[in-house]
A and B are shown apart, each in its own frame.
Chain A
Amino acid sequence: MNSDGDLGAMEKNRNWIILVLFIAAITIRCMMLMMPHSGEGKPPMYGDYEAQRHWMEITNNLPVLDWYKNTADNDLQYWGLDYPPLTAFHSYICGAVGKLCVPEMVELHASRGIETYNTKVFMKLTVLLSDLFVYLPGAYYAVSGVAFSYKHTAVFVDALTLLWLHPCLLLIDHGHFQYNSVSIGLALFAVGAMARHRYLLASVFFTSSFLFKQIALYYAPAFFFGILALCMRDGFFVGVPNVLMTGLVVVGTVAVIFYPWLATLPATDDVGQVLHRMFPFSRGLFEDKVANFWCSVSVAVKFQRIFDLSVMLKVATGCTVVSLLPACLCNFRARYGSGTFVASVVASACSFFLFSFHVHEKSILFPIVMSALVPVAMPKENRQEAAKVVIILTFISLFSMYPLVVKDNLHVLYTSLMLATAAACELTCQSEAWLQLWRGIICVVVACHFIHAAFEPPERLPDLWTMMFTISSFCCFAAATIALTVAQLKCAFDLKYNPKWE
């Protein structure tokens, strides 16, 4: 698929190839239906799987206004809803269908910790169907929008394959068990709309995306500057009404989704309660061990002990903004295609992951899935390099999730995905320098796994092996973000730069 050889046959059969790829993507998801999930067999709290099931139970048995409140029937300590309302509505739909098929799954209180065969199949099917209806179409829409200037099917199919079979997404959504694909799918729809210059549509999609999972706000600065740049393209006075329209659309979307809670205003502060659940700022600088700046640097300098939490909040915000601003501002100098916008989205998400507050290791999903669009959006001479970087970065993201894999007993799925991604990397990195780099990375990865499996960590530093994983991943993520920003700036400001699109 990476060869430029049989051009004619590939073009003719392009639709067939995409169809087969689509079916293969579904089949592979069907094959991993019975993999373990988070918290399996671990009372009393279980894991994310139980959280999702519990939300189906809550939304189907309680009135809407009680969903985010601590009531007698809704104990917020036991996996209280902390995602925005669209997740709640999604859980409601899944639970309603569940009531028809496996009613024991959503019985109020009685269904806690239920882990029967039928309920497990049903839950995994909900993720599969969410992928089918939101994520897969969204990925196609994004790639077809971003790649319009390419005639080569191979480029298109490569990006589509990576998105449709994204190993990190498969591990987290179908293994650990979450619904990130819905949020990312909606964000991909938004990117596709932006590539087609339909910024109002993009606003609707992106608002829905972060109203499904607030982590999607990682993309917000890029969308903000991207839409602003698009509106102002034809001049300031034409731009301002566009901006106002966009604002109205965003507010409208929020209003529609928050309608049940807004309807009770000003009598009660239900909306505030929802927001409070969505943005719990009382948590710490980082949770668990994650491959971002604060956690990695805390080996040497324990920031959270030196400075007060409110100070750290400001510092973290400042670092994030400084990191993402250059890439996002480049949107105002986007000269060709949607490469600049896609790169700014990735840079924004990466910056948030590296520097912001309370980042979860699963949050790497948001930058890394979006990065699959970067090679397709780049001009020809950058495309090969970008493809190599992206696939290696995907491999490392998967690697950084290993501590989660250990917790969830997902070794089989992890090994399978690592092997497949490694094969993809091997196939992509065919030039001398990259092959050496890739082989070096494999050695480090294998060494880390070996040390983790063979030796016990020293008693004074029980998290040493986990830190090994996170720090090595952090170095790669940081390097990639810097490289991306530099490439962005070069593209925007180099006057002699004249990218060729073929």
Chain B
Amino acid sequence: MTSPRLLYIVVLVSLKMLLMYSYKSTDFEVHRNWLAVTSKLPVSEWYQDQEGQSHWTLDYPPVFAYFERGLAVMADVVDSNMTQLDNQEYASERTVIFQRSTVIFGDVLLFLATHAFLSQILRGYALWASVTLVVFHPGLLIVDSIHFQYNSMLYALLVFSYYQVLHRRYISGAVLFTILICAKHLYLYMAPAYFIFLLKNCVLPSRKKVQKFVLLGLSVIGTTLVVFLPFLDERSLTGVLKRLFPWGRGLCHAYWAPNSYALYSAGDLVLQKVLKIDASTSVGTRGLVDGYDGGDTHAVLPSITPRLSTQITLLFVSILIVMYWSRPPGGRSSSRHVVEVFELIVLCSLSSAIFFAFSWHVHEKAILMVSLPSALLLWLVPGPMILPTLCIYIVGTFSLFPLLFQAAELPLKIALVPLILVGIPILAPPQLRLPPTNVSAMLFVAFLAIYQSLHPMLTSRYPFLPLLMLSVSSAMVLLPAFYQLATGFLLYSWSWK
């Protein structure tokens, strides 16, 4: 019997290849520019602003830069024009095929990591359904294979670190997670969760607590130092940090991530209209997006500052940490390590959820940070938690639809709606019970996601309204789902299956 994994990979590659010629966003040029920057400039200049160069500057941490450097070696063989610094917007056929192939390679890595991890816990149909839910996540399809990013590769790294934790190799898990953060600092969303998990399950139970703690700390710090080795002088370091954490941007991203500020801002707008307040003093929707200059963000409701949003986020993270710390350990001793890693994954997704809901300038692509772990969790969570996990998975995907705004992707989006609404529940565990309220909510969000594309063809008035409604309704499903997931996890003591 031929290896089922090989067949799966072949089918996976075959399907992802079909998207090679679809829409590519500015992220494609961003990554091409990074190929050029890392191959043509000396390391000390990677994070420094260059005159006359493309403004798509390197704003991921060094591990990603090293990855691009490695890719650039192969890129030079395929099409040497790709790595020229001043060849902006260069997108020859070979370039496109090469770059898309690297993303597909990341998809294959994700499959291998997910299969290796899940095959330790699940068997048979459950294993393959679960793997399919992760690897063929429609959100990944939209963001990675079309829009162009490398989330699948990075997520493979995360799953691999989970795999190490499953086998109680905490230090290598921590090291892998550190490398991941040094590849995309967005994974800092999960850092508090990982930290507190390691504290509770690795340091505390051991007999030499201090030694363990110091060892973990040293390995994390050591890894970071090794990664940042070429950048350890002040000039380079400030350059890197400035790129990684640009604080000058506005509260909401251009597409209004479906978080609490979307609801807050929408409420503010409604109140403006109802109370007939002149919007010239407030900044309306543009000010939220364009930039933050210290002024008022909202007209009627109190303003949100970066400091306030950080405080709210840290407040909820602290609540999560405290409640997790005081939770008794669950599960039979034989499957203790499975319960542990399950706790880790849920903690990571909850931590990401909190940051997604409350932090400053959240990109709507960040919903993948919550949605991808939820794909992993769907077959692992106990019964009551399946529904919120599924809601996060499905509604999170619909909220990403506005990213594909060109005509050629509209049929795909329309076809994806029934595929997601019918196919995902079929692949979900059989204990899933979908109440009509959730179904109608998902249908409503799906309708808005499609309508958002059709609206410009019908009328030119209120161009931003469908996007606003989509973000608001997605937030109204996602935020309660986060809460349900958190309460299901933290408050109930359950025995592992």
Q: Which residues of A contact B (CB under 8 A)?
A: 13, 16, 19-20, 23-24, 26-28, 30-36, 117-118, 120-121, 124-125, 128, 409, 412-413, 415-417, 419-420, 422-423, 426-427, 430
Contacts and interface: CB of A to CB of B under 8 A. Distances in A.
A34 B408 contact: yes
Given A34-B22, A412-B21, A415-B17, A128 B411 contact: yes
21 contacts: A23-B415, A23-B418, A23-B422, A28-B15, A28-B18, A30-B411, A31-B18, A33-B412, A34-B21, A34-B23, A120-B408, A124-B408, A412-B21, A413-B17, A416-B13, A416-B17, A419-B10, A419-B11, A423-B10, A426-B2, A427-B7
A33 B22 contact: yes
Contacts of B416: 27
Contacts of A28: 15, 18
A35 B21 CA distance: 6
A420 B16 CA distance: 11
B1 A27 contact: no
A417 B17 CA distance: 9
A36 B21 contact: yes
Contacts of B423: 20, 23-24
B14 A416 contact: yes
B20 interface: yes
Contacts of B11: 419-420, 423
B10 A31 contact: no
Interface of B: 1-2, 7, 10-11, 13-15, 17-23, 93, 97, 406-408, 411-412, 414-416, 418-419, 422-423, 426
Contact of B407 (A20, A23, A121, A420): A121
B124 to A, nearest CB: 10
A427 B22 CA distance: 30
Q: Which 7 A-B pairs have the closest CB atoms?
A: A416-B17, A30-B412, A419-B14, A420-B14, A34-B21, A27-B415, A31-B18
Nearest to B141: A31
B407 A117 contact: yes
B17 A427 contact: no
A423 B14 contact: yes
A471 B22 CA distance: 35
B145 to A, nearest CB: 9
A27 B419 contact: yes
B412 A16 contact: no
B419 to A, nearest CB: 5
A117 B93 CA distance: 17
A125 B411 contact: yes
A419 B13 contact: yes
Nearest to A419: B14
Contacts of B412: 27, 30-31, 33
B477 to A, nearest CB: 22
A425 to B, nearest CB: 10
Contacts of A26: 415
A32 B415 CA distance: 13
Nearest to A28: B18
Given A31-B15, A33-B411, 16 more contacts: A13-B426, A16-B422, A16-B426, A20-B422, A23-B418, A23-B419, A30-B411, A33-B412, A34-B22, A128-B411, A415-B17, A416-B18, A419-B11, A419-B13, A423-B7, A423-B14
Contacts of B93: 409
B13 A30 contact: no
A26 B11 CA distance: 17
Contacts of B408: 33-34, 117, 120-121, 124
Nearest to A31: B18
A133 to B, nearest CB: 14
A413 B15 CA distance: 10
A413 B14 CA distance: 9
Nearest to B8: A423
A19 B422 contact: yes
Contacts of B17: 412-413, 415-416, 419
B10 A20 contact: no
A27 B413 CA distance: 9
Contacts of A417: 14
B345 to A, nearest CB: 27
Nearest to B421: A23
B15 A422 contact: no
| Of listed A16, A19, A31, A415, residue having the most chain B CB within 10 A | A31
B407 A118 contact: yes
Contacts of A128: 411
B316 to A, nearest CB: 38
A438 to B, nearest CB: 10
A60 B194 CA distance: 65
Nearest to A417: B14
B464 to A, nearest CB: 24
Contacts of A20: 419, 422-423, 426
A124 B408 CA distance: 9
A417 B15 CA distance: 9
A77 B2 CA distance: 53
A409 B19 CA distance: 16
Contacts of A423: 7, 10-11, 14
A169 to B, nearest CB: 15
| Of listed B414, B415, B416, residue having the most chain A CB within 10 A | B415
Contacts of A427: 2, 7
A20 B418 CA distance: 9
